[in-house]
Structure 1
Amino acid sequence: MVNSSALSGNDTESRETLYQSKFVYIAGIAEMIVVILLILCFCIFVCFNALILNVYFTTPHVHEHARYVLFVHMLITDILYLIASISLFLVAIYAVYIPMPICYPMLNLAALTFRITACNLAIMALERYVAICYPLQYFQFCNAHRANTSIILMWVVGAVPNVADFFAMQSTVEQDFFSRNVICDLSLLAVNPLQNTIRTLTFISTFTLVALTIVFTYIKVMQVAKKAGSGTSSASKAGRTVMMHALQLLLCMTAFISTVSETYLRDSPVMLLITNFLVFTCLPRFLSPVIYGVRDEVFHKYIRTFCLFNL
């Protein structure tokens, strides 16, 4: 009886071990599928952007317009943001140690490009506002040179919080901090309470100013559209474009949802973390150029022609 009970117990334990190993195996396959899906979506995103960039650099009159200069800048910024974010996320998920001199610049690049995309949307909304409300002065205020100048200013102003964060951190960390190998995570770099204050104030001020700019331009553009009294007027189209920028801003802000939700999902399965990152951080960026590129007549015509001849 004792031997049979022992055999039965051993048999039950072996079944449980087998079930656990099968569960771990299935979970590992699911995680791999989601990671492959993430990388595949990024590759499609890059290919689609390559089509748009090809139109931009091979069509002379396109890269002379401020709206296209700003749009292409947004695409390049999104590509940089996704490269940094996906790399950092996979490194953190699979606990890969990397040198701090690589980790810190990548975290700063992700934060900087995140803010610049929002600012770029505000500038694009202002461009539509000038085009509709001040059409005679449009080429004076909105040309390729001024667009490039605004891009430089975006990067310079956008880098100020990063510089402030660096000095706040530098005053606290030990001398060998930047010579360590770490699992690259933003929480590891928050060694000074002042850093959290800088990041919070930067996020709130940036998105508040951008949102107010988009609301202001939409109201002004729609006032002109109402006076025109035509649903097909250029002012109405510009109003829809500004609303599209508002939608893109909301999509951009969903990355903040991913950051917050990751805090509560740290002990969850890896697949859930990857899915959360894919849905809230990557997918909005994947959709943004599609929304604009397909809607624009120049890019839509080229993309349709390319698909007809290559599919």
Structure 2
Amino acid sequence: MAANNSVVGVESPKYVINYRLVVVQVLVSVFLFINFLLIRTFFVKDFYTTTRYILFATTLLSDSIFLIISDILLIFTFIKITMQVWLCVIIYIFLSLFTFVTPVTLTAMTLERYVAICMPLRHGELCSTRKAVHCVLIIYGLSSIPWIVVLATLFALASHNFYYQDRQCTLEMFIFYQWQGHVRSAINQFYFLIMFIAIVFCYLKIMKVAKAASAEDKKSTWKGLKTVILHAFQLSLCLVQLWCPFIENAVLQISFILFINVRYFNYITFILAPRCISPLVYGIRDEMFFQALKYYALCGLYKKPSSNLS
């Protein structure tokens, strides 16, 4: 009886992990297909001349690259593929960069909605195409700070031979001392605080304008407010993702099986879920983009969308 129980105890988690891996592959494939379709629509039409669509495309590109890299690492971890540390460092740079690009871009999109609704006369000046490109460069610059700090501490502490060791690629391999984890936590909390303040500020200002708007302006104003709320929900999921490594490390001290369950839940809820909300916000709720999306998704069988982007 004891022998049978031990066999079940070994095989059951393996079966669960196989099942979960398949589920993740299906979800990632669906999200990537939708994102690539949206990106194609963005470049085929003249959406790249409008600031909010440029920022939207930035999140789509960031989400797609992040999903591809994280999914490859998930498969490598499952089949226990190792790589040299220097290669893992390069992968970590891209993974960390695109982890922050999405929430920072969402904050920028919220600020763009704030300008459009609360400062409509200055929207054309502040949100021109040229300034949108500058904004994207700033987003990537701000998103690079966390990985620069983490790798700076790694380069200061690790020996030359460390980068040629074969290991499984995980973030934990870069943390030698507890203070490194505290530094990373402080950076994440700082980003969390700044983006939270920006979202709340924009929400309150737009709410004030919505209440004072005339009858004909209320519809567009409240639609902008709902967009900000969706951004806030998506951003909250992205920001919780920054806390996941600390939660998982604490759970790992308790039980490895519980650690696997928590990490799977975090991946689905705080990594995959936020990346499927972007298509909802602009790919479906935005009427102009949705009309163009239907046209190209149905290979021109749907009526041709209007080219007016004003």
TM > 0.5: yes
| TM-score normalised by the chain length of structure 1 | 0.85
SS at match of 1:184: coil
Alignment check: 8 A CA contact 2:203 2:229 kept: yes
1:55 to 28, 31, 41: 41
Which amino acid in 2 is paired with 1:239?
Answer: L
Q: Which deviates the most, 86-95 or 284-293?
A: 86-95
Match of 1:240 in 2: 226
In the other structure, the counterpart of 1:206 is: 191
Q: What is aligned with 1:116?
A: 101
| Amino acid across the alignment from 2:273 | P
- Equivalence for 2:69: 84
Given the alignment, which residue of 283, 289, 305 partners 1:299?
A: 289
8 Å contact kept, 1:96–1:183: yes
Query: Partners of 1:191 and 1:22 in 2: how far apart?
Result: 36
Q: Which residue of 2 aligns with 1:218?
A: 203
Matched residue type, 1:38:
V
Q: Check the 8 A contact 1:218/1:242 in 2, yes or no.
A: yes
Distance across 1 between alignment mates of 2:220 and 2:260: 46
Please state whether the residue corresponding to 2:159 is helix, strand or coil.
coil
Deviations 1:175-195 (A, max 9, x none): 211111112221211124553
The 1:244/1:135 distance shift into structure 2, 3 A limit, reads same
Distance across 1 between alignment mates of 2:122 and 2:5: 72
What is the number of residues matched between the two proteins? 295
Structure 2 partner of 1:276: 265
Identity of aligned residues (%): 23
Shift of 1:143: 1.8
The structure with more radius of gyration: 1
- Deviation track 1:258-299 (CA, whole Å, cap 9, x = no partner) reads 423422443433862563243233332342223212211123
2:180 corresponds to which residue?
195
Q: Which residue of 2 aligns with 1:253?
A: 239
TM-aligned CA deviation for residue 233 of structure 1: 2.9
Whole-angstrom CA distance in 1 between matches of 2:260 and 2:156: 38
Task: Provide the residue aligned with 1:96 in structure 2.
Answer: 81
Q: Distance in 1 between the 2:171 and 2:101 partners?
A: 19
CA deviation profile, 1:69-121 (whole Å, cap 9, x unmatched): 00110111112222232333343344321111221122232222122211111
Aligned partner of 2:51 in structure 1 is: 66
Q: Is the 1:34–1:271 Cα contact (8 Å) retained in structure 2?
A: no
CA distance in 2, matches of 1:274, 1:22: 22
Instruction: Output the amino acid matched with 2:265.
Output: N
Q: Is the 8 A contact 1:254 1:280 kept in 2?
A: no
CA shift in 2, pair 1:283/1:157, >3 Å: closer
Distance 1:132 1:27, change over 3 A: same
Name the amino acid aligned to 2:14. Answer: G
- 2:276 partner letter: L
Question: Which residue identity lines up with residue 300 of structure 1 in the other structure?
Answer: F
CA shift digits 1:12-36 (9 cap, x unpaired): 5xxx545544554454333212101
Out of 115, 137, 156, the position equivalent to 1:171 is 156
Q: Which residue in 1 is equivalent to 2:274?
A: 285
| Structure 1 residue 213, shift from structure 2 partner | 0.7
Q: CA deviation at 1:234?
A: 1.9
Aligned partner of 1:280: which letter?
A: T
Unaligned runs of 5+ in 2: 302-310
In the alignment, the residues of structure 1 paired with residue 261 and residue 42 of structure 2 have an alpha-carbon distance, to the nearest angstrom, of 38
Structure 1 residue runs without a partner (length 5+): 1-11
**2:142 is aligned with what amino acid?**
V
| TM-score normalised per structure 2 | 0.85
Task: Give the superposition deviation at 1:306.
Answer: 5.8
